[in-house]
Amino acid sequence: MLNHHKGVEIELIRIVQGKKEKVSDLVAREIAVTIMVNKEELVCLPCSPGKINYLAVGFLLSSGILKHIDDILSMETRKNFFQIEMKNFQKSCLEKIHFSKISEFREQMKIMDKSVALSSIQRTFAIDPDLIYTLLAKMEEKSAFFRLSGGVHSCGLADSRGKIHFFCEDISRYNTIDRIFGEAFLKNIDTRDKIILTSCRISYGIIKRVIIGNVPVVISRSAVTDRAIQLAQQRGITLVGFARNRKMNIYTHADGIAI
């Protein structure tokens, strides 16, 4: 019997080498979390269960709605519900970010790009390639639910000494980044000397979040897009993709890797 709070056991037919068998397997659970700001519904996010306060705060940060910890008056988290009371909240944000479908989310990200100021990032360290492989191996060890289900993305916040400070998994790669930055924000962790580790494809939207989160290095086991490369180059981010089997592609600012 497979049990996991992030997953649901289902029966399915599996075909291996032409042979069919009935098996039980774990698939990722998807829930919808409602984020309320000052008693107004802001958004309904599809996501994985657990630690929705970090996800919600990270989303508010990446959307440009929340800028300072002092703006938070109170927070409340229930099962699939997050309520925050804030100072300096503009109700016009409700019109810009009100959505409930992933397709609408993509369109809203274009609107956010116009309203969120993105600055260049300063990096003060270079990472040894061997440390990158070590960190990715550590993250893989933590990716327990991915090994069970194959249905989630993984993300970690690490430092150049080899420590992974935060780790999360979610059905949405955007949510993993928001969860990491939401946790760092609430725990007052300086991200300027940190590294984002991820299993997901790096897109423009991911790099935009990384810039807002003020992290100078992004390392992925997967591919990157051309727009992600362009934005990372413009903003001073060291971007690494296909980091696996002791190989990696360095797309921008190679001085961030000690080679």
Q: Which residues, 6+ apart, have CB-to-CB distance to 119 below 8 Å?
A: 211, 235
108: pLDDT strictly greater than 50:
no
Residue 17 lies in a domain: no
Determine which helix (DSSP H) or strand (DSSP E) holds 129, and give its type and residue range. helix 129-142
Domain span at residue 50? Answer: 31-114
Beta-strand (E) ranges in the chain? 7-16, 19-28, 31-37, 40-47, 72-78, 81-86, 153-159, 164-170, 194-198, 217-220, 238-244, 247-252
pLDDT (mean) for 239-253: 89
Please check whether residues 110 and 177 belong to one and the same domain.
no
Q: Is residue 10 part of a domain?
A: no
Each residue of 117-157: pLDDT tens digit?
566 788 888 899 899 999 999 999 999 888 877 788 999 99
Picking from 114, 137, 161, the residue at the C-terminal end of a domain is 114
More confident residue, 49 or 186: 186
pLDDT at 176 over 90: yes
Q: How many domains does the chain have?
A: 2
14 domain residue, yes or no:
no
Say yes or no: 107 and 198 in one domain. Answer: no
Domain contains 208: yes
Indicate the residue among 58, 79, 114 that finishes a domain.
Answer: 114
As a whole number of angstroms, the distance between CA 164 and CA 156 comes to: 6
pLDDT surpassing 50 at residue 102: no
What DSSP letter does each residue of 49-93 carry, written as one string? Answer: SS-HHHHHHHHHHHTTS---GGGEEEEEEETTEEEEEESS--THH
Q: What is the pLDDT of residue 12?
A: 64
Residues 96 and 175 in one domain: no
Q: Tell me, what DSSP letter sits at residue 121?
A: -
184/181 Cα distance (integer angstroms)? 5
